[in-house]
Structure 1
Amino acid sequence: MNDLGFEIRGEPAPFASAPYGEVMDFLHHETQLLDDGALDEWLDLLSDDICYLMPIRTTQARTGGSGFVDAGFYDDSKPSLAARVQRYLETSSAWVEDPPSRVRRFVSNVRVWLAQDGDRYVRSNYLVLRSRLDAKEYELVSAERRDLLRPIDGGLKLLKRHIYCDQTLLGVQNLSFLL
């Protein structure tokens, strides 16, 4: 499967298989770390050469292509993600998140493909709810995620993540939190 610039390789992993369960454990653990603000621990789940990408979506006619452009909200490596985390956790310059937002992440419709080299290609739906200050309404971001997980040192590491938002105009005032 190759569209949106992310080629998924391998054979589908059955729902009850060990590789599928390992991926689900990884995704649930990752989501919990992000929701709990354990960002240093979250960084440990990333491979050193991660590609973390969230391209900007545009509205296109059916024949106009995928609707995603080369520019992105995120186009990060591990050092740039570590800098985001450090800024958020250790400096007073992240004033937009003081007091911090209350963020809840949901992963669903998870599909896993197992490549011959042991890599796991993952396609999932992702919903993020953010409550900010005393606002009554939630801010929402819905997206499709495509991940590449690799077995490293007895566990899985996130090697590649592409986040494809459903909205052309995001339903959040800013992206001061990690998706």
Structure 2
Amino acid sequence: MTTTSTTAAVSQEITAACADFLYREAEYLDHREFDRWLGCLSEELVYLMPIRVTRGPEARDLEFSPTGFHMKDNYASMKMRVSRLYTEHAYAEDPPSRTQRLITNVRVDALDASDKYDVRSNFLCYRAQGDGVDSDLIVGERFDVLHDTADGWRLASRTVRLAHTTLITPNLGVFL
């Protein structure tokens, strides 16, 4: 089912609840509480990170690829990725990343479904590994659908649009 934004005003209470959800989600990820983070995800999750288009005639009309992705996941694949983080087979996360996420500019609109909201936010993710001085700053905008359920807020979908044209990190072993 496709939902679309409406122009109906969203209460400050709903906006604050959505922002609080995003802040807690960032905290879980920064503290490597991946099982708690999985609890924030809806089983209908669609998680996309399209590649930015920068060459060719399509770059004039299309900023992000509809078919090429850095990440294209669902709830099952996210669950599998989290499970692997707790094993010795998470090579990209050995040693584990130290992250600090900043979430800003949270904007909320109502969707046709009365319990779902279109939530946009900007993010900055600092990432470092080991004891070296190298670090990455990953910046972008997120387009989320948050679902207010009887069990609390859940992330139903996320599209991450990186500000970068080329990934500046050696791997994407972290969730954005």
TM-score when normalising by structure 2: 0.89
Does 2:37 match 1:38? no
Distance 1:128 1:12, change over 3 A: farther
Aligned residue in 1 for 2:108: 112
Aligned residue in 1 for 2:175: 178
SS of match in other structure, 1:110: strand
1:76 to 73, 77, 82: 73
Give yes or no for contact 1:12–1:111 (8 Å, CA) kept in 2.
no
Q: CA deviation at 1:92?
A: 1.0
SS of match in other structure, 1:125: strand
Alignment of 1:13-52 (within 5 A): 13=9, 17-52=12-47
Percent identity, aligned pairs only, is: 33
Distance in 2 (alpha carbons) for counterparts of 1:163 and 1:9: 18
The code of the aligned residue for 2:171 comes to: N
Give yes or no for contact 2:50–2:64 (8 Å, CA) kept in 1.
no
SS of match in other structure, 2:115: coil
Describe the superposition over 1:76-121 as per-residue Cα deviations: whole angstroms up to 9, x where unpaired: 11110000000011x2111332221111111111111023513111
Aligned residue in 1 for 2:134: 137
TM-score when normalising by structure 1: 0.87
The code of the aligned residue for 2:98 comes to: R
SS of match in other structure, 2:104: strand
SS of match in other structure, 1:11: coil
How large is the RMSD of aligned CA atoms in angstroms? 2.0
SS of match in other structure, 2:16: helix
Q: CA deviation at 1:38?
A: 0.6
The code of the aligned residue for 2:100 comes to: R
Q: CA deviation at 1:126?
A: 1.1
Structure 1: gaps (5+ residues):
1-5
Q: CA deviation at 1:138?
A: 2.0
Aligned residue in 1 for 2:51: 56
Give yes or no for contact 1:128–1:141 (8 Å, CA) kept in 2.
yes
Q: CA deviation at 1:134?
A: 2.4
Q: CA deviation at 1:68?
A: 2.5
